[in-house]
Amino acid sequence: MTRDPNDRDDQTATNRRGLSRRGFLTTMGTGVLAGTAASQLSAEAGEVPEVLAADAFAKVALSINGRTHEVLVEPRWSLAYVLRDVLELTGTKVGCDRGECGACTVLMDGVPRYACLTLAVEAEGTAIVTVEGLMDGEDLGPVQQAFVEKDAYQCGYCTSGQIMAAEGLLRTTGDPDVERVRHGMSGNLCRCGAYPHIVQAVQRAAEMKRAGGAS
């Protein structure tokens, strides 16, 4: 009986590498079939999540500054875009639009977050606070008042983000030292270089909060 030359080639390959070409192809084929079968079973079981088109609209309920806003959003829209262009809460600024400057900082469940890197659909179910939400009617909140007192801004474009980062810090640390303030504010850039005044403002705001208000 004549032996198939391919068998010799396969045997040689097996001896050298531990797996023949024919064995490799057989293994790959089995893997593909198993993967396909698993995908079909998952689909039949309803485990495949719905994927929305980028330009489709979804209804979300956003809790912002204590109020619930029901809005239609595209899945690709950032929270910063929805705040500014849909809800007209323009205190949140967009600087770099890629999570580097911190001008768009808001609080989500008390934690500072870059609104430009957060999708609006991600924010549903969280408590969002913007710089507008720190005011008591027409009165400034402690952090806002401290930034005014300590002249902690120049052009002012980064200021709302700085204030929100400071607010987030002071909700977890009531009496931060200088190094703690610097660390807590490190995600926010001031291109005018008002950092010494910003540190002073955060510590002044901490004093005000401990005293019970902005006055």
The model's pTM is: 0.74
Same domain, 34 and 96: no
Is 105 in the same domain as 165? yes
Q: Which domain holds residue 35?
A: 5-44
User: Rounded distance, CA 12 to CA 169, Å?
Assistant: 67
Give the CATH number of the domain where residue 129 resides: 3.10.20.30
Specify whether 75 is located in the same domain as 136.
yes
Position 51 in a domain: no
Same domain membership, residue 64 and residue 39: no
**pLDDT confidence bin for 24, thresholds 50/70/90:** very low
Specify the pLDDT at position 56. Answer: 83
Q: Is the pLDDT of residue 27 over 90?
A: no
Would you state the structure tokens that stand for residue 179, as one six-digit string? 């190094």
pLDDT value of residue 33: 47
Residue 186 lies in a domain: yes
pLDDT of residue 100: 95
Please give the average per-residue pLDDT across 3-15, as a whole number: 49
- Cβ neighbours of residue 157 under 8 Å, at least 6 residues apart? 93, 95, 103
Number of domains in the chain: 2
* Sheet with 67-73, side-by-side order of all strands: 67-73, 58-64, 127-129, 105-108, 111-114
pLDDT digits 0-9 by tens, 57-72 = 899 999 999 999 999 9
Cα 83 to Cα 86: distance, rounded to the nearest angstrom: 6
